[in-house]
């Protein structure tokens, strides 16, 4: 695992204050490979400036925005190429996008004369991550270079997918700890795509704001559960093999992102008694401890799927989410989850249009998301409180070196 230098101003470490789905990664950052990261010091006037000044370099062997802790705000945007855009137009777009992303991540104007509406907030840990959809390869004359791992996801029982909010030729994930910074970056990238690609769909999500909890904690989702505990961590044996691809050549060091907009049926969920909610997940709601561990268990107590109570009843129910999703139940299938909550107002029936923007990164979806979701869709007690409403799969190429752009080995190789 190669390190990516992260500059941050003086003050509390972002990793020391950050909750969210990546908190496990934050713990890992203290040791192991990520402990090699350089934390350069820069002056900061106050705590607010300390958060705004945090920088995650755009350039590096891997794209930023995969293993870094989830920021407070995310924007997902899918684009379709215009029919007039060929391979050289796509290369120009990715070159321009990469250069703008690198500058914004460094806290610089995206371009000369750019209006910089977010200037006084610093980069706020801005990351910009680019992905390629299966449809891109035909349109750009690259059909023979489409990776097998980009094969269409199968339909899953219960899917209620909206095609207008699914798929896309290109995907951009923008994360930042300040909403204005994230939305500004999105607007810059949309503008730079003019004449080459058009937005297909946009989604906004959020996670814990750094400093919102008194000590580092795994984040919670809108059902109230501690979510992200058993994510694989960069220092775990097998992490790179599970998350990062080794081929084809232009994808070595990249990953595959499965995205799902999952609406939570919160009105039904909220009326369930606490013990039902905990049984459905297999973990305590208060602290995320596994139900297999008894009263002394803590969040990080290993899950014991075989544990029974004195009557011989499984402590983690047969249809508990953590049992059905576990790698041990799915032939070792694993993925790095990096989800964000969304709350997009009310549906016509008055229920909240809210849930989880679920992202899973893996070396190959056929050995990650697909088998796990196949099992969840049939046997997960949580699934009756969820609706999968949108879906997409993108190849997320490796990062670009200084002066290069994301996807260059594909487009110029
Ligand atoms: C196909 C993969 C998964 C989908 C889709 C998914 C949706 C989903 N999950 C939660 C809440 C929790 N999930 C938790 C654990 C967990 N979930 C998955 C996979 C999917 N979840 C995995 C692989 C795991 C880890 C299982 C294990 O090995 O223990 C948990 C427990 C805490 C944790 O480990 O993160 C919660 C809570 C929601 C609300 C949701 C859809 C909206
Ligand atoms: Fe889950």
* 188-205 per-position pLDDT tens digit: 999 999 999 999 999 999
Pair 169, 79: CB distance under 8 Å: yes
Q: How far apart are CA 241 and CA 246, in angstroms?
A: 8
19-23, 24-28, 121-125, 148-152: range with highest mean pLDDT: 148-152
Q: Residue 348, class by beta-carbon neighbours within 10 Å (0-12 exposed, 13-18 middle, 19+ buried)?
A: exposed
Q: How far apart are CA 238 and CA 259, in angstroms?
A: 23
115 vs 373: which has the higher pLDDT: 373
Pair 228, 337: CB distance under 8 Å: yes
Kindly identify the ligand whose nearest atom is closest to the C-alpha of 358. Answer: 1
Supply the pLDDT for residue 6.
46
> Hey, whose CA ends up nearest to atom 30 of ligand 1?
227
Supply the pLDDT for residue 114.
76
Q: How far apart are CA 310 and CA 299, in angstroms?
A: 23
What is the average pLDDT across 73-84? Answer: 98
Q: Residues enclosing ligand 1, CB less than 6 A?
A: 221, 223, 225, 227-230, 260, 262, 264, 281, 283, 303, 321-322, 325-327, 355-356, 358, 360, 369, 372-373, 376, 386
87-93 long-range Cβ contacts below 8 angstroms, 24+ apart? 87/140, 87/141, 87/142, 87/411, 89/196, 90/136, 90/140, 90/196, 90/407, 90/411, 91/405, 91/407, 91/408, 91/411, 91/412, 92/196, 93/192, 93/193, 93/196, 93/197
What is the average pLDDT across 280-299? Answer: 97
Q: How far apart are CA 389 and CA 384, in angstroms?
A: 14
Residue 23 pLDDT level (bands cut at 50, 70, 90)? very low
Token pair of 370 as six digits: 């697909």
227 given a catalytic annotation = yes
Beta-bridged to residue 127, according to DSSP, are 175
Query: Which atom, in ligand 1's list, is nearest to the CA of 386?
Result: 42
DSSP H or E segment with residue 6: strand 6-7
Query: Which atom, in ligand 1's list, is nearest to the CA of 223?
Result: 39
Supply the pLDDT for residue 50.
62
pLDDT digits (tens, 9 = 90+) for 153-165: 999 999 999 999 9
Whose tokens are 């995205």? That residue is 259
Pair 321, 281: CB distance under 8 Å: yes
Pair 298, 289: CB distance under 8 Å: yes
| ipTM tops 0.90 | yes
Supply the pLDDT for residue 111.
82
Query: Which atom, in ligand 1's list, is nearest to the CA of 288?
Result: 32
Beta-bridged to residue 44, according to DSSP, are none
CA–centroid distance, 50 to ligand 1, in Å, is 32
Q: How far is CA 146 from the centre of its chain?
A: 23
Substitution candidate for ligand 1 out of 239, 290, 325 with most atoms within 8 A of CB:
325
Supply the pLDDT for residue 403.
96
Q: How far apart are CA 216 and CA 227, in angstroms?
A: 14
CA–centroid distance, 321 to ligand 2, in Å, is 7
């Amino acid at each position: 695992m190669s390190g990516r230098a992260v500059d941050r101003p003086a003050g509390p470490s972002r990793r020391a204050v950050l909750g969210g789905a990546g908190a496990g990664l934050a713990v890992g950052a203290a040791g192991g490979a990520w402990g090699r990261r350089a934390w350069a010091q820069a002056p900061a006037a106050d705590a607010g400036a300390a958060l705004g000044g945090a920088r995650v370099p755009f350039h590096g062997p891997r794209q930023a925005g995969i293993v870094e802790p989830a920021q407070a705000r995310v924007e997902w945007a899918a684009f379709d190429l215009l029919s007039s855009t060929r391979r050289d137009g796509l290369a120009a777009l990715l070159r321009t996008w990469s250069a703008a992303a690198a500058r914004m991540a460094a806290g610089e104007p995206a371009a000369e004369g750019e209006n910089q509406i977010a200037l006084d907030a610093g980069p706020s840990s801005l990351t910009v991550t680019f992905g390629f959809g299966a449809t891109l390869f035909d349109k750009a004359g690259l059909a023979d270079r489409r990776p097998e791992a980009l094969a269409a996801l199968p339909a899953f029982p219960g899917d209620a997918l909206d095609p207008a909010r699914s798929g896309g030729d290109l995907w951009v994930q923008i994360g930042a700890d300040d909403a204005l910074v994230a939305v500004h970056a999105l607007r810059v990238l949309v503008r730079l795509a003019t004449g080459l690609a058009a937005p297909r769909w946009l989604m906004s999500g959020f996670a814990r704001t750094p400093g919102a909890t008194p000590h580092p904690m795994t984040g919670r989702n809108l059902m109230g559960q501690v979510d992200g505990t058993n994510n694989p961590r960069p220092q775990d044996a097998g992490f790179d093999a599970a998350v990062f691809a080794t081929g084809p050549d232009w994808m070595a060091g990249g990953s595959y992102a499965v995205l799902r907009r999952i609406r939570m049926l919160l009105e039904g969920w909220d009326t369930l008694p606490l013990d039902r909610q905990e049984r459905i997940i297999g973990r305590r709601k208060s602290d995320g401890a596994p139900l297999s561990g008894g009263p002394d268990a803590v969040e990080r107590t290993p899950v014991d799927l075989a544990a029974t109570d004195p009557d011989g009843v499984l402590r983690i129910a047969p249809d508990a989410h953590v049992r059905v999703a576990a790698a041990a139940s799915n032939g070792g299938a694993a993925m790095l989850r990096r989800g964000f909550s969304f709350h997009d107002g009310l549906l016509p029936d008055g229920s909240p249009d809210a849930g989880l923007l679920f992202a899973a990164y893996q070396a190959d979806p056929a050995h990650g998301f697909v088998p796990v979701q196949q099992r969840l869709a049939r046997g997960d007690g949580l699934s009756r409180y969820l609706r999968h409403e949108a879906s997409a799969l993108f190849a997320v190429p490796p990062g670009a070196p200084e002066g290069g752009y994301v996807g260059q080995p594909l487009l110029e190789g």
